[in-house]
Each structure stands twice: as C-alpha cells, then as structure tokens.
Chains A and B, each alone.
Chain A
Amino acid sequence: MIFTFPHLGNTYIIAKSFLDDFGAEYVVPPFNSDRTLEIGLKYCAEAHCIPFKLFVGNMVQAHEMGADTMLITGGCGPCRLGYFGEMLKKQARDIGINMELITLEVPDQGLKELASRIRKVSGTSNVLNIARVINAAKNIAVKLDNLEQLAREKRAVQSVKGSVDKIYGGFQKDILNIKGSANMERFIKETEDRLKQINVNTDAKPLRVGIVGEIFTTIEPYANFRVEKMLGEMGVLVDRPVTVSGWIIDEMIKKRLPLLKDKKHEEAAAEYLPRMIGGHAQYTVGNSVLNAISGYDGVIHLYPLGCMPEIVSQAILPKIEEDYGIPIMTVIRDEMTGEAGFATRVEAFIDLLKKRRDEHLNEQSKMLYGN
C-alpha cells in the first residue's frame, strides 16, 4: 500500500511524521497549484466547494505518482466535510483510478472500526506503539503551529523584507527530506532558532489583524493567495486562531471528552450564535469577538463559495462590527477569484485600518467607515 493525503497548509509535515514512524510507504502530492485546481474543476460538479475540488486534484496527482490509498479526516457534522470520504470514493470511480480511501474519524460502527482502519496504516496492533506515534504527530502539530506563529510575528517587524520567508520557505521544502518525528522536531527547533535571530525593527508597532473563517481557506496558502505573507510584508501582525493542532486536539482527540475542550470561543459567540451549526462558524463568530476585545485593528473573514456554515457567520459579523467597532471584511474565494483583485481588496482594507489608527492617535474618535 502506498499512502497519500490531501494538502492543508503544513499538515503534510504532520502526516509525514505519522507515516514515517509507522514505517509506511507514501507519496506527498505536489503542493497545491493552478494545475491541481484545474484537475479538480475538470472532474467535479460546479456546486462543490473549493476544498473538495483541491482534494480531488491532490488525489489525481498523487495517483500519478503511484499512490493507491488516501488518508483523510472526516466527521459527522452537518458540514459537507463529513461526507468527503464517500464522495472522493465516487469521484475516483468516475475518473477511473484505483484509490482506496481511509477516513480517520469515529464512524457509526464505533471505535473498533477506527482501530481497524488505523491498523491498516500502522501494520501493527500494538496499542502502545500506536498511541506513541499519534502523540508524536500531535507534538509535531503543536510545534509547527508555534513556528508558524513565530514566523508571523517576525514577518511583521522584519527589517529586511523576505528574510523570514527565505528561512521559512526553505524549511517547508527541506523538511520533505527528513525522516521520523524525532529528526523533524529537531529541524523545527533549528528553524525556530534561526528565525529568532532575524534582524527586526524594534520600534515598529504593527497593525494587528485577525484571520477568521472556514478552516481550509484560512490555513491553505494556495486557497487564500498566501494572505499571511501578503499582510506580513505590509507590516501587519496576523493572528489566526484556528490551527491544525487545535483542530487535531479538539475535534479528534478530545471529541468524546467535552469537559476538557477549549470553550473560549463558544462563550464569546454565545450572544450571537449560541450553538454548533457545523463547520467553524462558531469559531469565526467567537474569535471575531475575542479579537475585538483584545484590541485588534481589524478582522478578515475568508471562506470558499457555497460554504454553508460561513454564510451564517457572514450574516452575523456586521452586528459584531457595529457592537464592538471593529472593521471586518469578508472575502469569498472561488476558482474565478483573481489574485490581483484579492490583493487590491486586502491592501485597501489595510489602508483604511492605518488611517483609522492615525486618527485615533490624534485624539479623534475611532469611526467605522461606511457608517
């Protein structure tokens, strides 16, 4: 069996650590590109969402490289993601490629079924060994997210533009040649040290912008035109509260343990969206409120066209904008979105935020544009 998995930001590193430690054979599909999306568009109905189209693209490209089994995560929530596994199976049949799908979730049949799925990957039934590997992968996920956060912080204040991405971009490529979670952890640590030594402009007081929205579009750089890099180079400190490690810990490991879950966003969202409606709508609403409370200058809301939960949050965000006086911009991504148009909107938004902050420093009242 040769495994593969779809791309979602840095998750390929986590999946790699997971599969390396089990000694499984696998291929990492090419990073998402226009070609990946084109393949997805060719085979999918137009009404499917961008994440699904890119997943199909990844699947076909991985198949070209020899993969025959794809690992994905799932769920049973009302969002479409829960049914991706079945739809990908159908899509593979229609395209005429041989691809087995393994969905890592707790299925209807219970934990036993999940265990048998994991056994397919691990090749061992040793529970201790499996738990150790999963724990190592989780640790990698947490360290990666810390590294990403560090890169964001440094990017906003770097004295030479591009110095962060020289290191960070190199890291993303070089890690493909490193095997095993222990070695990867070491490499992440090294990169972290290198990033810490970058020359920074200590006087800079960067604007702070939160990125909220659908998990795939906010995390996958191809789906959001590398918005974090774009903003960082404008000297903006970006914060993205929804992370891969957070998702793994909350949705996969602690799913059955509701008491231990991080509930900050739920409490913050309670006034606007008091219950789960699927996807990350509650995170979007809750984190926007949290960002506003902690004095962020603005919030950017991203989601792919047709994402049902985020349509609900889009309708709620203007109320938060008004109640807390924080500018929020919604940008919807589909396969027709052009990068230049996207960049223009982001730039204009940042210009407004700058102006707004200057006015505030001159003791004028902070006003919301457009009101």
Chain B
Amino acid sequence: MKRVGIPRGLYYYKYSALWETFFKSLGADVILSENTNKKVLTNGSNACVSEACIPVKAYFGHVLELVGKVDFIFMPRFTSVAKKQYICPEVCGVSDMVRNSVRGLPKIIDPEINLRESVKNSWRAALYTGEFITGDRRRISKAYKEAVTQYRNKRQALKFADTEFGKSLGINGSAARKADDSAAKLTIAIIGHSYTVYDTFLNMELIKKLNKFGADVLTLDMLDYIVSKDRCRELDKQFFWDYGTRAYGGAIQLIQKGRVDGILALTSFGCGVDSFVDELVEDKIRCESDIPFMKLVLDEHSAEAGFLTRLEAFIDMIVRRRQNDIYISTSGKHVYNC
C-alpha cells in the first residue's frame, strides 16, 4: 500500500475531508503529521526564511515531520479556490518554497489547483493526483465524487457546528443559529484564515479559552459564502482574494444580524492580505455598528499570558456592558462617531 503524507497545515484545515476521503477510497494509506506543537513549529521556523508568516513556518514543520515516514507528500500548488479570486501569494508559492529549501524530500504530489477560470480544473487536479496511486481512471472518478460529497457534507455541517470536527475544535452547539435569537450566552465571532482559527497551537486554543469564558464562537465558515459575496458588491472594486470576500462580506453579515457580542480579528504577523482586508473590516465595523472589535496578531513570540490578558479584558468589557446596560465605550468610540 502506498503511504501518502498530508501535512496538517494551511489549507488542510479547510479541505481535510476532501483529501483524506479521496486518498482513502483510492486505497492509499493516509498519514497525517501530528497536530502542531512546539517541536513542529521550531523545526519549521529553522527551515523556513524568517520573513514568512507563522502558518507557513508551521507548514514547513509538518512537512519535515513526514519526511522518512511516507512514499509521497501531498502538497498541492494553490493558485485560486474560487472563481475570479486568488489566494495569498505566499500560500501559492509554499510548495515551491518547501521543494527548494528542504532536502531529502520523498516524491511530491503537486497538482495545480486553479479554479479562477473554471471549476473543471478541480477534476483535472484530482486526475493528476490519482494517477500517482492508481492507473484506473474509473476508480479515480469514483473516489473524487465520494470525496466531494464528503467535503460538501462536512462544510454544510460546519455551518451549524454540530459535527465531530466542530466539537473537536471546541465549537459547541450552534452558535450560528443562536446568533439569530437573543440567547443569554455571549457569542463571539472570529474573523481569520482557517489555518489560524482552527490550528489550536498557533492561536493558543483561542476557541477553548472563549468557551471557558462562557462564550459561543462563530467562525467565517458558519456564514454563507454566497451572501458574503453578494454583500461585497458595495465595494467599488471586488477583492481578488478569496479570504477578503469572506471576511468583508462576513463582517457585513454580522453587523446586519446584530446578534454577536464581539468580533475578534485573528491575523498572523506579516500577513499582507490581512493588512488590507482587516483594515477595511475594522473600518466597517467601527463605523456602522457598536460591536466591540479587537485585533489579535500572532507570531512565534506571542506569549500566552499577554494573549489571555487581552482576551479577558475584552470579555469583561462585553459582560459589563451587557449587565449594566450602560454605555461603556469600545476603543476609540468616544472620539469619532461616523
């Protein structure tokens, strides 16, 4: 049996169901790198250029973790994951970064995933990938269909966060639905890339921490993408980053629903996409709503105590505001009212 290694980083957090199901139904042995931990991150940072962002460094660590244990490493070259959209250039080029800076890599399966022009490219990528494992086209086609169904189901389920996956992340219950009625519990929305929001080591178990404070968590995956895309039409020029559309449209949805108690923007240091997107999102939230907003920046030097203190202060502020029902200013609110 052929052993296929999948690094548990970057877009794994979005496409895990798709990839795992695909390889398993082709009859390959799927080996995942372990969850991100200190060793993975340290090894990754040592192998990677220091300017890269922390998720990319962690990805390097995950690849190193797999070296010697597998026959193939699955490292797709992403260019685009949605029509007319791109993704971050660094993630686009990460497989080339790894290929050119890590020695002794096993064979790499690197299909090009470019859905910018046509969604059919996804099947082409699957065919290319499948041919590494088997020569039987019909089998690949079957595995592909199965994988896509699995992936869709998981994504759909994630919207309501009732899945095992959701639970394993600590997203308990259905925050998205609760956001529609005024539940007594707090609901905090997290705006961030899937690979920072769901990687519990990188974000220092942010979701669990929020749960401990008694808050439900809502992520961008629980909001409808089509609606987000529609809301983005108010911009003069549409974002060409998939994440930008999700985050900006998501923020507008949150404002319109008006049922979240706070919004956290989670970003990694040096993230170029976020430097533009988050600024527009912050502007939108501060100008058009009174929802408290805080930006958290992650890098490999982030200390947990400082992180926790900021989080506690944020939650305390929200709780007091709610209990006393008096106006407590969010940062900067007194100074300007748009």
A residues bordering B, Cβ < 8 Å? 45, 47-49, 76-80, 82-83, 85-87, 89-90, 103, 107-108, 272-279, 281, 305-309, 311-312, 314-316, 318-319, 332
Contacts and interface: CB of A to CB of B under 8 A. Distances in A.
Nearest to B277: A83
Contact of A308 (B100, B238, B272, B279): B272
13 contacts: A47-B270, A47-B274, A49-B272, A80-B272, A86-B236, A90-B279, A277-B96, A278-B86, A278-B89, A279-B89, A307-B272, A308-B90, A315-B49
Given A86-B236, A275-B112, A278-B89, A306 B283 contact: no
B134 to A, nearest CB: 25
A45 B273 CA distance: 13
Nearest to A82: B240
A66 B129 CA distance: 58
Given A45-B279, A279-B89, A89 B101 contact: no
Contacts of B239: 83
Contacts of A86: 235-237
A146 to B, nearest CB: 31
Interface in B76-123: 77, 79, 84, 86-90, 92-94, 96-97, 100-101, 112
A308 B88 contact: yes
A281 B280 contact: no
A311 B90 CA distance: 7
B276 interface: yes
B252 to A, nearest CB: 16
Given A80-B272, A314-B51, A273 B236 contact: no
A78 B240 contact: yes
| Interface size band for B | 35 or more
A312 B236 contact: no
A310 to B, nearest CB: 8
Contacts of A306: 51, 270, 272, 275
Interface of B: 48-49, 51-52, 77, 79, 84, 86-90, 92-94, 96-97, 100-101, 112, 235-241, 270-276, 279-280, 283
B96 A308 contact: no
Query: Is the contact region of chain B dominated by helix, strand, or loop, or is it mixed?
Result: mixed
A309 B271 contact: no
Contacts of B276: 48, 80, 83, 87
Contact of B77 (A85, A275, A307): A275
A87 B283 CA distance: 12
Nearest to B51: A311
B79 A315 contact: no
Contacts of A307: 272
Contact of A311 (B52, B112, B235): B52
A79 B280 contact: no
A309 B93 contact: yes
A278 B90 CA distance: 9
B92 A78 contact: yes
Given A47-B275, A107-B237, A311-B49, A79 B112 contact: no
Contacts of B49: 311, 314-315
A58 to B, nearest CB: 18
5 residue pairs, one from A and one from B, having the closest CB atoms: A312-B93, A47-B275, A78-B86, A315-B97, A277-B92
A307 B272 CA distance: 7
Point out which of A82, A273, A277 has the most chain B C-beta atoms below 10 A from its C-beta. Answer: A277
A305 B51 contact: yes
A278 B116 CA distance: 14
Contacts of B235: 86
Contacts of A83: 237, 239-240, 276
